[in-house]
Each structure stands twice: as C-alpha cells, then as structure tokens.
Amino acid sequence: MNNDNMEYDMRHKHHKVIKAWADGAVIEGNDGYGWFEPKDPRFFNHIEYRVKPAEPVYEWQWAYYTREFLTWIVTDCHMTKSSAEDFFRDRHKYEAIEGSKREVEL
C-alpha cells in the first residue's frame, strides 16, 4: 500500500469548533434534545457542537414629533433602538415606524 497517495484527516471531529472556543467563542452542544451551552465543553463525538449564533440586530425607520412644526417627521434612515434613544434624547415623542423593521447584516 502506497501512503503517498492517501490522505488522512487526523484532526478531531470538532476541530473547527474547538478552535473557535479556544479563541473565545461561546459554544453550544446538541445531544438530540436541543441546543444547550456547556459550561466546560468536552467535545464528545456523539454530541453536535456549534458556535452560538449571534443575536440578530434590527433597525427601524423612526417618526418624531416636532414642536416647531407641530407635526410628525419620518427619518430617511434606519436606526437601532439604542441609536434612536440617543438621537431623540431631547424630543419627548418618537416611535418606530411599523413595517420598517429590517435585520442588520453584520
């Protein structure tokens, strides 16, 4: 048998997830009963592992009430809730526009 033509993958079954965990990523395991966060992952072969998916971030268009014009104005841009809170800090009335929600691609 000629070993020159044979390639063996000697890496651990979960090597990509192990590296991500070593780099600080949060890991989830699934033992067939759903995803869970192991406190100290052992990377058993019978358990499926993954990097925990990031929580989605959403933006909306916003409307705010202006006392100067006594009317509501709609923003041209989308903002997250925290950005809107900062932007509209001095205005007492503002709200997200229904139907304008979109997920931010990170």
Q: Where are the beta strands (DSSP E) in the chain?
A: 27-30, 35-36, 48-51, 57-66, 71-79, 94-96, 102-104
Please give the average pLDDT of every successive group of 10 residues along the chain, which has 106 residues.
Answer: 61 90 94 92 92 92 89 93 89 89 86
Please tell me whether the overall predicted TM-score, pTM, comes out greater than 0.85 for this model: no
Same domain, 38 and 15: yes
Same domain, 47 and 62: no
Residue 84 lies in a domain: yes
Query: For the chain, how many structural domains are there in total?
Result: 2
What is the predicted pLDDT for the residue at 10?
80
What is the predicted pLDDT for the residue at 31?
93
